[in-house]
């Protein structure tokens, strides 16, 4: 910065920034804190900030449900759906960005509009289709559905990234006799990699947090963390501690993942749509 601000000014901004950050983060912190309380402490009034930490809730959660099974399922579904979605949308976005036609705009908006329907409206048809194709309660089945729900957004994001790549660079490649396919894989992909990475990160996060199809298309073998949460929400008796422990366990992996990939997410976004 060329001009130094007065110290007090910086301090006030810092204070405001931290106050808002703490307020926004507080529910998550409180959830994590509550997960280390006994059930009786968890509903004490007034709420306790200082208490004797206990792992009782975690013990119970782990005794009742195979957390790792749910987590591995979630990881497999999120990664699988993201990879397949990228494999489908990279060529599509390439075609839209570099071989546009009058229909491009319409196609893109149609794709996005498929995403605006409440999933529950088509639950019974999808359920019947999944039953008839033996995809109920399989990772493949839920993976396909998650992939399809995210596909429009992925295509659109990639499109905005690709469009930022100057066409002459690609054309220069073609002069050298590169095919469209080579042009895409050898020239475009390395250039657009940060954008693709951002898109993949976003897709993983969205898959991880999808709950409607997760609950309805799986039962045991392929059940992801959304189903894990459903077995701890509002049972009989006191449950705030167990609920918090289960919630913390379900959120922690993706939260930590998000923290670490945040920089990459931002770097990629700078490259494309948001520039």
Partner 1 sequence: MPAFVSDANKSRFRLFTLATLAASTALGSAAARADTTLTVATVNNGDMIIMQQLTPEFEKTHPGIHIRWVTLEENVLRQRVTTDIATSAGQFDVMTIGNYEVPIWAKQKWLTQITPDAAYDVSDILPPVREGISVDQKIYALPFYAESVMTYYRTDLFKKAGITMASQPTYDEIRQYADKITDKSNQIYGLCLRGKPGWGENMAYLTSLVNTFGGQWFGQGWKATVDTAPWKAAVNWYVSGLKEDGPPGATSNGFNENLALFASGHCGMWIDSTVAGGLLFDPKQSKVASEVGFAPSPKGPYGKGPTWLWSWNLAIPASSKHQAEAQAFVTWATSKEYVQLVAQQKGWVAVPAGTRASTYANPAYQKAAPFASFVMNAINTADPNGQTANPRPYTGAQFVGIPQFQAIGTQVGQIVAAALSGQTTVDQALKSAQSSVTRTARQTHLGG
Partner 2 sequence: MTTAARTGRVDRAGLAMLSPAVVILLIWSIVPLVMTLWYSFRNYNLVDPTLHGFAGIDNYRYLLTDPDFITSLINTLVLVAGVLFVSVGIGTLLAVLYDQEFFGRGIARVLVISPFFVMPTVAALVWKNLMLHPIYGVYSSMMRAVGLTPVDWLQQFPMATVMMIVAWEWLPFSVLILLTAVQSLDSEQKEAARMDGAGPVARFRYIIVPHLARAITVVIMIETIYLLTIFAEISVTTAGGPGVASTNLAFLIYARALLQFDVGGASAGGMAAIVIANIVAVFLVRAVARNLEV
- 63 is an interface residue for partner 2 by CB under 8 A: no
Residue list 129-188, contact with partner 1 (CB under 8 A): 129, 131-133, 135-140, 143-144, 147
Question: Is the Cβ–Cβ distance between 267 and 195 less than 8 Å?
Answer: no
d(CA 116, CA 119): 9
Binds 8: which of partner 1, partner 2, none (CB < 5-8 Å by kind):
none
134's tokens: 């033996």
- 200 is an interface residue for partner 1 by CB under 8 A: no
Quick one: which of 32, 197, 215, 252 contacts partner 1 (CB under 8 A)?
215
H runs (alpha helix) in 43-188: 56-64, 67-98, 103-113, 123-132, 139-163, 167-175, 180-182
Residue list 102-161, contact with partner 2 (CB under 8 A): 102, 104-105, 107-126, 128-129, 148, 151-153, 155-156, 160
d(CA 165, CA 75): 32
In the bound state with partner 1, the residue whose beta carbon lies nearer, of 84 and 197, is: 84
Q: Binding segment for partner 2 among 54-62, 63-71, 135-143, 225-233 (CB under 8 A)? A: 225-233
- Identify which of 219, 215, 99 has the alpha carbon closest to the alpha carbon of residue 159: 99
- Angle in degrees, CA 72, 157, 216, rounded to 5: 40
Binds 54: which of partner 2, partner 1, none (CB < 5-8 Å by kind):
none
Binding mask 105-124 for partner 1 (x = CB under 8 A): ------------------xx
Binds 69: which of partner 2, partner 1, none (CB < 5-8 Å by kind):
none
Buried b (16+ CB within 10 A) or exposed e, 45-63: eeeeeeeeebebbbebbee
In the bound state with partner 1, the residue whose beta carbon lies nearer, of 43 and 252, is: 43
Quick one: which of 28, 39, 67, 206 contacts partner 1 (CB under 8 A)?
39
Residues in Cβ contact with 38 at an 8 Å cutoff, skipping those fewer than 6 apart = 54, 56, 57, 241
Tokens 């507080």 sit on residue: 26
- Contacts to partner 1 by CB under 8 A: 39-40, 43, 45, 63-65, 76-77, 79-81, 83-84, 87, 123-124, 127-129, 131-133, 135-140, 143-144, 147, 215-216, 219-223, 227, 230-240
């Amino acid at each position: 910065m060329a001009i130094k601000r007065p110290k007090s000014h910086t301090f006030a901004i810092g204070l405001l920034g931290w106050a808002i950050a703490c307020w926004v983060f507080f529910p998550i912190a409180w959830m994590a804190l509550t997960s280390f309380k006994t059930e009786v402490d968890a509903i004490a009034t007034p709420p306790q900030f200082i208490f004797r930490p206990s792992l009782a809730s975690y013990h119970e959660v782990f005794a009742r449900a195979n957390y790792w099974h749910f987590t591995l399922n979630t990881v497999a579904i999120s990664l699988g759906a993201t990879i397949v979605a990228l494999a489908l949308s990279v060529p599509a976005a390439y075609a839209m960005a570099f071989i546009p036609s009058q229909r491009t705009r319409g196609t893109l908006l149609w794709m996005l509009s498929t995403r605006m329907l409440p999933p529950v409206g088509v639950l019974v048809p999808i359920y019947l289709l999944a039953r008839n194709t033996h995809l109920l309660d399989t990772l493949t089945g839920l993976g396909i559905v998650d992939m399809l729900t995210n596909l429009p957004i992925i295509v659109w994001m990639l499109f905005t990234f690709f469009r930022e790549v100057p066409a002459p660079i690609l054309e220069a490649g073609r002069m050298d006799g590169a095919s469209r396919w080579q042009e895409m894989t050898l020239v475009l992909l390395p250039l657009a990699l940060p954008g693709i990475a951002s898109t993949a990160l976003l897709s993983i996060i969205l898959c991880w947090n999808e709950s409607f199809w997760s609950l309805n298309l799986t039962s045991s073998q392929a059940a992801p963390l959304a189903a894990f949460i459903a077995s701890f929400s509002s049972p009989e008796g006191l449950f705030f501690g167990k609920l918090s422990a289960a919630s913390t366990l379900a959120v922690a992996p993706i939260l930590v993942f998000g923290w670490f990939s945040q920089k990459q997410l931002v770097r990629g976004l700078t490259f494309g749509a948001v520039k």
